[in-house]
Amino acid sequence: MTIAQRIRRVGDRSETSSSIATKSEYAVGAGTSAAGTGAQDKQKQKSIVGAHIMQAVSAGKTSMQDHYATSSAAQAADTSKKDAPKVQKQSGLGTALKKIVDWFMEDDDELLPGETPESHAANVRTNRQGMMVLYRKELADHLCSRRFWALFALLTIVSVASLYGAIGSLQQAAQSAQAQGQTVSEFQFLKLFTTAGSSIYSFQSFIGFLGPIFGIMLGFDAINNEQAQGTLNRLAAQPIYRDTIINAKFLAGATVVFLSVFSLGGLLSGLGLILSGTKPVAEEWARLVIFLLLSGVYISVWLAISVLFSTLSRHAATSALSSIALWLFLTMFLSLVASGFANAMYSGSQASTQDVISAYRLQTGINRISPYYLFSEAASVLMNPNVRSLDIMSLVEYQNGAIASYLSLGQSLLQIWPHLVAMIMEVVVGFALAYISFMRKEIRA
């Protein structure tokens, strides 16, 4: 028998096995519809059909394996070696992000007692619609409230004032540099946001101080105000999951935060281009956008903290005072505690240079618990490319006459990457605590 005849014979066996499997499936459908609800008949039919399918498939596989075992193994080995790097490349950051998104968006497939798959799917659709309705309602409440517009107007006024102060300072610096025959430094557009005037702080400083107040005002009464008015019971009685309430409130508050930050950034950028006449390059625009994203994450930290105190406190005034007290401690008093603790650990009349460096690093590590300190360091590196490092060794290098040079955007991002991750984790931890507290809260009392 030739090889071609053997191949035709194997193909005939494969077609026969597929036809047997197809006929068996039709037999199962017919037997199932005729038997009704008989569980034993269904089980027997499945076992018989499974035996026929296994016999047919094994017959086809045995013939194929006899003739092509060696060549198939070699081709499989070569293919696996060639495709291994591709699989590793594909299972990188994109796969990880896809898994995170799928995990966040997936629904609980576990059926409740007395619930059918159809009713479960209907409940999921209803919950999604309820999530969007509640999110739009919270977003409209924020954007239509007088409190929001008062805070936004305050931020706009102080931001515009800081811009005018920065333009005045930069013009004086440019005139003095031209009088001395020196060239004006680069990145003048970024200095509009980081330069302080003669009697006013910079935009970066105002975001660091007033940003937490803006976030706290958006979330200090998110839960307890609903409970005090008696509307939380009505929300929980709707056909939505319980965590939809706090999820929609936090997402609406975070949306308002990012809208406000980017609106202020766009307003100041337009005014700065008109009044100063600077021509920013692409890297300056990229640094500004990343700075605005960093500012939104920073304010969202305080939004999560205020929502947490809103779930823990019964009154809105208590949650607001608790949030402001924590903000004052982490912004102003934590540095004093860190300095005293570092001096107590490495103080002495015979302190060496290594002790001084260790004390500085310990103090810096304690200060980095504060979101304000993390934001200040990250913003200084991002908006000032001349800052090469945040460690004490960089200060020693500057004092010893190191040549100053600008960092690229990628190198600056490597410097601030830990700060951004730390602030994101603070947002996640704060909201997770608020989520757990809300899910364990008795809202019907």
DSSP string, 164-205: HHHHHHHHHHHHHHHHTTPPPPS-HHHHHHH---SSS--HHH
Cβ proximity of 210 and 218 under 8 Å: no
Is 393 found in the same domain as 280?
A: yes
Q: Answer whether residue 183 is part of any domain.
A: yes
Question: Model confidence at 91, in pLDDT bands (50, 70, 90)?
Answer: very low
Domain final position from 73, 108, 135: 73
pLDDT of residue 217: 94
The residues, any chain, with a CB within 8 Å of residue 165's CB and separated by 6 or more, are 195, 196, 197, 198, 199, 200, 202
Is 276 found in the same domain as 203?
A: yes
The amino acid sitting at 323 is: S
Is 130 found in the same domain as 61?
A: no
Q: Answer whether residue 113 is part of any domain.
A: no
Least-confidence region, from 78-82, 263-267, 336-340: 78-82
Highest mean pLDDT among 100-104, 277-281, 317-321: 317-321
Is 69 found in the same domain as 209?
A: no
Is pLDDT of 333 > 90?
yes
Is 147 found in the same domain as 234?
A: yes
Region 203-216: mean pLDDT is: 93
Q: What percentage of the chain exceeds 90 in pLDDT?
A: 43
Domain final position from 73, 93, 114: 73
Cβ proximity of 202 and 161 under 8 Å: no
Is 175 found in the same domain as 65?
A: no
pLDDT of residue 223: 92
Is pLDDT of 70 > 60?
no
Cβ proximity of 424 and 301 under 8 Å: no
Distance CA 199, CA 2 (A): 98
Is 152 found in the same domain as 279?
A: yes
pTM of the full structure: 0.72
The residues, any chain, with a CB within 8 Å of residue 58's CB and separated by 6 or more, are none
Is 217 found in the same domain as 360?
A: yes
pLDDT of residue 287: 95
Least-confidence region, from 10-24, 153-167, 231-245, 424-438: 10-24
Q: Answer whether residue 115 is part of any domain.
A: no
pLDDT of residue 65: 44
Output 344 or 119, whichever has higher pLDDT. Answer: 344
The Cβ of residue 260 has, within 10 Å, a number of other Cβ atoms equal to 23
Is 413 found in the same domain as 325?
A: yes
Question: Model confidence at 50, in pLDDT bands (50, 70, 90)?
Answer: very low
Is pLDDT of 148 > 50?
yes
Output 51 or 299, whichever has higher pLDDT. Answer: 299
Q: Answer whether residue 250 is part of any domain.
A: yes
Could you give the C-alpha distances from 271 to 8, 165, 278, 379, in angstroms and in order?
Answer: 79, 13, 11, 21
The amino acid sitting at 213 is: I
List, for residues 402-417, the tens digit of each pLDDT value. Answer: 556 788 899 999 999 9
Is 132 found in the same domain as 65?
A: no
Is pLDDT of 116 > 80?
no
Distance CA 211, CA 193 (A): 15
In angstroms, how far is CA 392 from the centroid of its own chain? 30
List, for residues 221-273, the tens digit of each pLDDT value. Answer: 999 988 888 888 888 888 788 889 999 999 999 999 999 999 999 999 999 99
Q: Answer whether residue 107 is part of any domain.
A: no
Question: In 3-state terms, what secondary structure has residue 370?
Answer: coil
Is pLDDT of 11 > 80?
no
Is pLDDT of 214 > 70?
yes
Output 424 or 197, whichever has higher pLDDT. Answer: 424
Is 285 found in the same domain as 210?
A: yes
> How many structural domains compose the chain?
2
Is pLDDT of 154 > 70?
yes
Q: Answer whether residue 91 is part of any domain.
A: no
Question: Model confidence at 120, in pLDDT bands (50, 70, 90)?
Answer: low
Alpha helices (H) along 106-187: 117-143, 146-179
Domain housing 280: 126-439
pLDDT of residue 348: 65
Is 45 found in the same domain as 167?
A: no
pLDDT of residue 387: 81
Burial 107-117 (b: 16+ CB within 10 A, else e): eeeeeeeeeee
Domain final position from 32, 47, 73: 73
Q: Answer whether residue 263 is part of any domain.
A: yes
pLDDT of residue 30: 39
Q: Answer whether residue 106 is part of any domain.
A: no
